[in-house]
Amino acid sequence: MSKTILIGSPNSGKSLLFNRLTGLNQKVANFPGVTVDINSGKSLAHPDNKFFDFPGAYSLQTISGEEKIAVEAFYAALQDPQTSSVICVVDVTRLEKGLIFALQVINACAEQQKPLIIAANMIDVLNQHSLKMDVTGLEKALQVPVIAVSAKSGAGLEELQDKAISHTELPCAYSSDIIASDESVTHRQAQQLAADYGPKGDLLINAQTRLDEFFLHSWFGGISFLVIMYLLFQSIFTWAAPVMDGVESSLQFMAELILPLLPAGVVSDFTADALFGGIGAFLVFVPQIFVLTLVVGMLEDSGYLARAAVICHKPLRVFGLTGKSFIPMLSSVACAIPGIYAARTVDSPRKRWLTYLAIPLMPCSARLPVYSLLIAAFIPATNMFGGLIGWQGLAMFGIYVFGIVCGLLVTALVSKTNKDLQSDLPFVLEMPPYRLPSWRPLLRNAWSRSKHFVTKAGKVIFLVTVVIWLLGYFPNQGAALGESWLGQMGQWIEPIFSPFGLDWKYGVAILTSFLAREVFVGTLGTLFGIEGGEENIISLAEHIQNSGLPVGAGFALLVFFSIALQCVSTLAVLRRETGSWRLPTQLFISYSIFAYAAAWLTFVIVEAIV
């Protein structure tokens, strides 16, 4: 099997091109540095050829550890006899920058005598604005095939694939005119080539600047940032609510249809309590995960996130972070795992390390079912201004802000007390062009994230639910939950959680949630299902309301879940990224103690007020 390497500057549209060529669904976003691993996939048109998508690089001369790993991997791939061709992706709207890198790649390919093709990407953007570039002229000047393509529309991709597969016909010898050993010569060459063959005029960049003048304006920029962030959190409730209601009604309908057909006893009780009560309670929240991923993806694709990073830079610097920390922190709102990977875009090792401390405190989507459940149980579902502002949405916004503030306070404290923490680099961030989001990849990404959430968390929830149900149902066939095996075990752990007003059922749910946060909802659903007997189909929020849980305990639970690091995957990925168990262990222990103390304090304060 032959191999084709895809390489290019950050945000040149390389991963979108890779997805087009392979039919895969690699994460893409309008922000530099999204690809952090080398991905591979078989060509759709020529299955005997494999494409390798390398992380974007500004240069083959590296300045950080991560860049070094990617560039060394590129050189190693060039030496691989199976590598038959290299495609260097260049964004034609920013031609000079792309050509500086392309000239370096030409140099590297010349050394290894590997054929190279330049993919002049985003040709559709030039066409939209009636701008032209001289592809033939550039091809002649470089003496390398240059193919105009649009990864977005698919234009030119057939020619690109055919060219890559017919590598034996491609030149492996390069003109000495374009091979420069000196960096300043490469620079002048790129400048001249862009001036001679690139699109003329400032139309694109002027349009970008007009939008920047608004989105980065001292007042409007700050206000629009707050409005966008608020709408993001509000959308989780208002947009997802009808679908959530639909899922809940469907589950109820299915339960009413299936349960009468089952023989009374263990099978019927298991189906009602563990399947519909436990797993069903968790499935209701999947639409919220979908909406959250979709809206964050929209912001990424539009180019707005880079502006948000600029807006946040000065305030985040107060807490020892950088504007670049904003992207991993916002990604962590969907899930901490992509957030930890996105932290690789923070080039300063010191600030990246501090970002790792903040990420587990970001309100991830696994916390969402717990927050939604507790808010639904304790906050009235009244809306104002035609549903634009609702108390539940405000409460969600509040608990999200609480998590973020905790994260910032931790980084500020560590940054102030540990000045020599790793080396630092200054803030330089490329502003990507504004683009209309591409709906298809966004919807696909949101769907795959929701599917991943259901299949991955679902397995754990199913296992825990079955174990919890068995322990709670026997030995007295569900007659009295308190006298079951689980009830007896629960009495032992009750003293741990009773200081913040929780009985043993919540204690068991908290302990099981250390496997994954969402398990809390499934466990409670199963426990209330067993206890509820005939009424086990009513919503879990109603069960909590009827259980007489004090308001202070509800708030304490919210605070506990917003701080505690109950995610095995986060700990494993942190270990992978930092190369040791030291940081994950420290974070797990310190955040558990912090969560317990803050929850107790919340309970005491709220109970004193109400």
Partner 1 sequence: MTLWDLKQGTSATVQSFVSSLESSYRTRLSELGFHPGENISCVLSPSLGAPKLYRVNNSVYSLDDSVASLIKIGSQVGSQVGSPIGKSE
Q: Which residues bind partner 1 (CB under 8 A)?
A: 58-59, 61, 63, 93-97, 100, 183-184, 187, 191, 194, 198, 200-206, 208-209, 212-213, 216-218, 221, 306, 309-311, 313-314, 317, 323, 425-431
> What's the min distance (Å) between Cβ of 97 and partner 1?
5
Q: Closest CB to partner 1 among 131 and 170?
A: 131
Confirm if 6 and 14 have CB atoms less than 8 A apart.
Answer: yes
Residue 215 and residue 457: Cα distance in Å, rounded? Answer: 38
> What's the min distance (Å) between Cβ of 594 and partner 1?
31
CA distances from 480 to 105, 484, 522 (A): 72, 7, 20
> What's the min distance (Å) between Cβ of 422 and partner 1?
14
Q: Closest CB to partner 1 among 105 and 521?
A: 105
DSSP 67: H
Q: Closest CB to partner 1 among 37 and 183?
A: 183
Of 185, 197, 6, 164, give the one whose Cα is nearest residue 92: 197
> What's the min distance (Å) between Cβ of 13 and partner 1?
15
> DSSP 3-state assignment of 42?
strand
Q: Closest CB to partner 1 among 60 and 258?
A: 60
Q: Closest CB to partner 1 among 82 and 206?
A: 206
> What's the min distance (Å) between Cβ of 420 and partner 1?
17
> What's the min distance (Å) between Cβ of 401 and partner 1?
21
Residue 280 and residue 531: Cα distance in Å, rounded? Answer: 17
Question: What DSSP element (H or E) covers 120?
Answer: strand 116-121
Q: Closest CB to partner 1 among 201 and 495?
A: 201
Q: Closest CB to partner 1 among 287 and 323?
A: 323
> What's the min distance (Å) between Cβ of 467 and partner 1?
52
Residue 72 and residue 76: Cα distance in Å, rounded? Answer: 6
Q: Closest CB to partner 1 among 31 and 588?
A: 31
Q: How many CB atoms are closer than 10 A to CB 579?
A: 8
> What's the min distance (Å) between Cβ of 77 and partner 1?
22
Residue 282 and residue 456: Cα distance in Å, rounded? Answer: 13
> What's the min distance (Å) between Cβ of 311 and partner 1?
7
Residue 99 and residue 189: Cα distance in Å, rounded? Answer: 9
Q: Which two tokens stand for residue 335?
A: 């899930």
Sign of the alpha-carbon torsion through 501, 506, 511, 515: negative
> What's the min distance (Å) between Cβ of 59 and partner 1?
5
Q: Closest CB to partner 1 among 427 and 447?
A: 427
Amino acid letter, 153: S
**Which own/partner pairs from 325-332 qualify as long-range (CB within 8 Å, at least 24 positions apart)?**
325/351, 325/354, 325/355, 325/358, 327/31, 328/355, 328/359, 329/355, 329/358, 329/359, 329/362, 329/404, 329/407, 330/296, 330/299, 330/305, 330/362, 331/296, 332/359, 332/362, 332/364
Confirm if 260 and 503 have CB atoms less than 8 A apart.
Answer: no
Q: Closest CB to partner 1 among 100 and 337?
A: 100
Residue 69 and residue 241: Cα distance in Å, rounded? Answer: 45
